[in-house]
Amino acid sequence: MERGSARLTIAAYTSDLAQFAEFLEKRRQRLTDARREDVRDFIQELFSNSLDGRSVGRKLSAIRHFYRYLLLDGKIEKDPTLNIDSPKQWKVLPKSLSRDEVEATLAGTQPRNESARSQALALRDHAMLELLYASGVRVSEVADARLEDLKLDMGYILVRGKGDKERMVPLGVPAQQALQQYLKGGREVFAKKRGSPLLFLGTGARRLTRQRVWQLVRKASLASGRHASPHMLRHSCATHMVENGADLRTVQTILGHADISTTQIYTHVALDRLKSVYAKHHPRAKAKV
């Protein structure tokens, strides 16, 4: 019985290492070249694919033992699993899209035909996607956005979030242009002279439901090869801002988090960037002692 259990453990560890090797291969890396950030990203991907903490812990254990063996055997100089948090302590980042995947999604709203309705749908959906990514707004905040909240001349939108709290969120040029085009050539097709305070309208000037917005995002994201959601665009906005140097307080304000602790899930993104910048620019970052 013990022998059979040992065989199962060896088979599981072998499978875990093979999975990590496959992950590295996509990055054109070998097992002996793995860095700490590769291990972290692998664990992050496992959690993003809804793998439970116990299974992630086993995979991390297999990788740890493998690199300790390589270190003792002199095959590597540094253990990439050193100081990696245990799965119980791991703060899981929500799923986000890469920048290329975002671009493909934003471009995935082409009109089906030349009809006025098809053209209007494309303009509306593109403006909505640009807003979701540019401002990191929640799906309910998009559905409830009012025409009067949009201040294109000043480059921001007034967002009414949870608890009726208001925040001003800046808009980038692409989002401003997409919204301008929608207001100019799309919104009136849905309004049909019916008064509505809402920014985004459905058929008969009706409010778009949360489910409808989810459907629109998912359909557009097929061009990227992913099944994205409004929530993923929100987290992509935050992740890409932090990667480009935004501080967590700014991200907190834009996302409308009541507590900074909610925003701190992006801390490791900020730390990874900090280390990358330090390694690139500090004269003694790579100096050999």
Q: Which residues are catalytic?
A: 138, 162, 231, 234, 257, 266
- Cβ atoms < 10 Å from Cβ of 1: 5
Neighbours of 160 (CB within 10 A): 16
Listing DSSP states for 183-217 in one string gives HHHTHHHHHTT----BSSB-GGGPBPPHHHHHHHH
Strand partners, 201: 207
Q: Could you tell me if 20 and 63 are in contact, meaning their C-beta atoms sit under 8 angstroms apart?
A: yes
Quick one: DSSP state of residue 109? -
Those residues with Cβ within 8 angstroms of residue 70's Cβ, 6 or more apart along the chain or in another chain: 32, 76
For the beta sheet containing 150-151, the strands, ordered from the edge strand earlier in sequence to the opposite edge, are 150-151, 156-160, 166-170
CA distance 106 to 224: 9
CA dihedral (252, 257, 262, 265) in degrees, to 10, reads: -40
Phi-psi domain of 83 (left: phi exceeds 0; alpha: psi -120 through 50; beta: other): left
Q: How far apart are CA 83 and CA 134, in angstroms?
A: 35
Task: Look up residue 195 and give its two tokens.
Answer: 């008064």
Instruction: Give CA 253 to chain center in angstroms.
Output: 18
For residue 235, list its beta bridge partners: none
